[in-house]
Amino acid sequence: MSETKSMQRGADARSTAGDQAWDIAGALARILRDAIGASLGVAGDDADPALRSSTNPKFGDYQANFAMALSKRLGRPPREIAASVVEAARGPIAAIAEPPEIAGPGFVNIRVRTGALGAALAAIDCPSLGVPDVQGTRTIAVDLCGVNVAKQMHVGHLRATIIGDTIARLHERMGWRVWRENHLGDWGLPIAMVLASLRRRGTDLGAITLADLNAAYRAAQAESADDEAGLAAVRSTGAGPHRLIELEAQHSGAAAAAEDARRTLRLLQSGDGATVADWRKLIDVTMHEVFETAKTLGVDLRPEHSRGESFYRDRLAATVDAFVRSGLATEDQGAIIVRFADRERPLLIRKSDGAFLYATTDLAAVQFRVQELGAERVVYCVDARQRDHFADVFDACRMIGWTRRRDGTDAELRHAGFGAVLGADKRPLKTRSGENFTLKALLDEAVERGTFEVRRRAEDPQAPTHGMGDAELARIGRAVGIAAVKYADLSSDISRDYVFDLDRMISFEGDTGPYLLYAHARICAILAKAGDMDAHAAIAPDVPEERALALAILRWPSTVADAAHALEPNRICGYLFALAGAFSGFYQACPVLRAEDPGVRASRLRLCALTRRVLADGLGILGIDAPARM
């Protein structure tokens, strides 16, 4: 997608009350588009001015590269095409930019007038910072977290939780109504197996911890493990009576445990009071740690967001029946499957023994989220390895018409699949014993490292944190540690694997969360030293570093719109890092507090304040707390 289309889409998403005064890029794109139409008779997508930010400020602020593409289409020299369009645009563009210049084979370079740039900054210095607001007229459901009851959160849940939360925050920032959907694994034979095992052991469910539950989950799996193949081999090879007795005992015990689990499941499904009460205890223990972890991560995840498999249990039979009645599902060796015209694999929605599957629940969930919650976008933040599963579920929902909303429009179903978190060996992150890292242990280490770094820096007498109390240093250290983890996770393409390297993540230099926190705190310090600031002072970004910072600030609204549209949190991260870099260049080249001219000082202070607000806004979208002092 071209940057022009990105700019235009961002503009289209904003208020229809009229052009936004800060939207210089959008205004330039519209002027050029109209000029292309007027001078060349070209309309629609063919009139794309291909407007981009200039890579070299020496040649201007923006560059329009439409001439080369149109030259092939119209059979005219590109410089001639560029000259025609520039002439047609000369009048309308004069209030915003200096006369455009044609370079090379037909590139059009545009330099924004200082006055127009200052006016745009003054316009964006408003409560919304120019970010579009649909005021609750659009709805999205975001499937995030997705923990299993009786199991501890591990590093894989980190990605599902913070990516989902950021996508939710992006849409909330734009005024969407957002349904956070924590799809718990809280139903079916696995949970019944754990509950049955705990009851056999006489465990006090009122005092059990999640670590106890996690151990019980593994024990229950072991108890139900059966080695029929091994038993058959022993019988056929005559491996000895002792081995035969051992495997027969194992087979008998596993069969008894499995039957106990099935009996417990039947009690649970029938609504037996005592069984349901015990089941809820397991959920409460699990979710207590989930909510505590979410709080540590700065993730908005609450009890009302949890709608697990149990919520859909009474809808599953009707889901299968609907596909059968519509002729989209057929029986195959006792199972019910949905076939697709363009792939060999079918979608299994009911097993031959009558049991339902994850796919059945996901089909019911899509129908609920679209037709009952009214979501026009349904996003699943789930491991990328589930790509085929969601492709099948989404296509099945489209086939049966469950993507159709009440207003007749079709909902968009998206799988925001994420890669794995890797260790230094480039393999999935594990403990030394080969087990998955619990998320709590990982976060505890990050906070410890962040706190250590903050306290080390506070020892410097020149540091803003020198002499600060231990509790305050611990609070800042916690923010640094969590920012390090979240930013590292969100700053690259979410579909890719990434290496978990705390040494790199915790650094205050480079493309890291702590670097952005430090940039924000440094601006806070400047503003605090300045004291009272004229919030209405004229902004006159004249020198190159001021202009670069101004243009970076003005890209914020379209960045938010684009990141939300593409479901790519890394766009926010990339923007914030670039903004912090632009501010660093500005601060080194342009004295602020020591500026001799009062007007220049006031202008630069407003630039500082705007930069701080945008940084804080972006970090807030990422769910990162930004301390004022570091």
Classify residue 159: in a domain, yes or no. no
* Ramachandran angles phi, psi of 404, nearest 5°: -80, 125
* Ramachandran angles phi, psi of 509, nearest 5°: -125, 150
Residues 550, 555, 556, 561, Cα dihedral to 10°: 170
Classify residue 404: in a domain, yes or no. no
Q: Please report the pLDDT score of residue 4 as a whole number.
A: 45
Any residues with CB less than 8 A from the CB of 50 and at least 6 apart, and which?
2, 3, 4, 64, 65, 66, 69
* Helices 273-297 & 439-458 angle (0-180, nearest 10): 30
Q: Where are the alpha helices (DSSP H) in 174-240?
A: 189-201, 210-223, 228-237
Q: Please check whether residues 69 and 194 belong to one and the same domain.
A: no
Classify residue 498: in a domain, yes or no. yes
Question: Contact at 8 Å (CB) between 514 and 479?
Answer: no
Average pLDDT, the chain: 91
Q: What is the mean pLDDT of residues 575-591?
A: 98
The model's pTM:
0.90
Estimate to the nearest angstrom the gap between the alpha carbon of 244 and the chain centroid: 54
112, 146, 165 — which closes off a domain? 112
Q: Please check whether residues 569 and 452 belong to one and the same domain.
A: yes
Estimate to the nearest angstrom the gap between the alpha carbon of 140 and the chain centroid: 13
Q: Is the pLDDT of residue 252 over 70?
A: no
Classify residue 553: in a domain, yes or no. yes
Q: Please check whether residues 463 and 611 belong to one and the same domain.
A: yes
Q: Please report the pLDDT score of residue 18 as a whole number.
A: 35
Among all chains, which residue has been given the structure tokens 């670097």? 515
**pLDDT confidence band for 211 (50 / 70 / 90):** confident
Classify residue 243: in a domain, yes or no. yes
Bigger pLDDT: 243 vs 141: 141
Q: Is the pLDDT of residue 569 over 70?
A: yes
Classify residue 166: in a domain, yes or no. no
Q: Please report the pLDDT score of residue 256 as a whole number.
A: 85
Helix (H/G/I), strand (E/B), else coil: 139: strand
| First CA to last CA distance, the chain | 39
Q: Please check whether residues 107 and 217 belong to one and the same domain.
A: no
User: Among residues 127, 128, 121, which one has the least CA distance to residue 606?
Assistant: 121
54, 82, 112 — which closes off a domain? 112
Q: Is the pLDDT of residue 36 over 80?
A: yes
Helix (H/G/I), strand (E/B), else coil: 109: strand
Bigger pLDDT: 534 vs 246: 534
Bigger pLDDT: 406 vs 240: 406
Q: Please report the pLDDT score of residue 390 as a whole number.
A: 98
**pLDDT confidence band for 15 (50 / 70 / 90):** very low
Any residues with CB less than 8 A from the CB of 95 and at least 6 apart, and which?
113, 116
Q: Is the pLDDT of residue 223 over 90?
A: no
Q: Is the pLDDT of residue 225 over 80?
A: no
- Least trusted range by pLDDT, from 2-6, 386-390, 610-614: 2-6
Q: Please check whether residues 194 and 98 belong to one and the same domain.
A: no
Q: Please report the pLDDT score of residue 231 as a whole number.
A: 37
Q: What is the pLDDT of residues 45-70, one digit of tens each?
A: 889 999 999 988 889 999 999 999 99
Q: Please check whether residues 445 and 560 belong to one and the same domain.
A: yes
List Cα–Cα distances, 487 to 166, 561, 566, in angstroms: 11, 19, 18
Q: Please check whether residues 486 and 582 belong to one and the same domain.
A: yes
3-state secondary structure 375-389: CCEEEECCEHHHHHH
Q: What is the mean pLDDT of residues 549-558?
A: 97
Q: What is the pLDDT of residues 383-422, one digit of tens each?
A: 999 999 999 999 999 999 999 999 999 999 999 999 999 9
Q: How many domains does the chain have?
A: 3
Neighbour tally for 408: CB within 10 Å: 6
Any residues with CB less than 8 A from the CB of 468 and at least 6 apart, and which?
458, 476, 629
| Residues spanned by the domain of 222 | 189-270
**pLDDT confidence band for 236 (50 / 70 / 90):** low
Q: Please report the pLDDT score of residue 267 as a whole number.
A: 94
CA–CA dist 511, 574 (Å, integer): 9
Q: Please check whether residues 74 and 197 belong to one and the same domain.
A: no
Specify the DSSP element, H or E, that contains 331.
strand 329-332
CA–CA dist 521, 533 (Å, integer): 18
Q: What is the CA radius of gyration of the chain?
A: 30
- Least trusted range by pLDDT, from 144-153, 230-239, 241-250, 451-460: 241-250
**pLDDT confidence band for 11 (50 / 70 / 90):** very low
Q: Please report the pLDDT score of residue 234 as a whole number.
A: 41
Classify residue 398: in a domain, yes or no. no
Q: Is the pLDDT of residue 249 over 90?
A: no
Q: Please report the pLDDT score of residue 451 as a whole number.
A: 97
Q: Please report the pLDDT score of residue 434 as a whole number.
A: 62
Write the CATH number for 609: 1.10.730.10
CA–CA dist 585, 563 (Å, integer): 25
Strands 139-144 and 498-499: unpaired
270, 302, 319 — which closes off a domain? 270
Q: Please report the pLDDT score of residue 430 as a whole number.
A: 78
Q: Is the pLDDT of residue 303 over 60?
A: yes
**pLDDT confidence band for 257 (50 / 70 / 90):** confident
Q: Please check whether residues 457 and 595 belong to one and the same domain.
A: yes
**pLDDT confidence band for 431 (50 / 70 / 90):** low
Q: Please check whether residues 473 and 593 belong to one and the same domain.
A: yes
Write the CATH number for 26: 3.30.1360.70
Neighbour tally for 440: CB within 10 Å: 17
Classify residue 601: in a domain, yes or no. yes
CA–CA dist 306, 294 (Å, integer): 13
Q: Please check whether residues 88 and 212 belong to one and the same domain.
A: no
Q: Please check whether residues 470 and 599 belong to one and the same domain.
A: yes
Instruction: Quote the percentage of the chain above a pLDDT of 70.
Output: 91
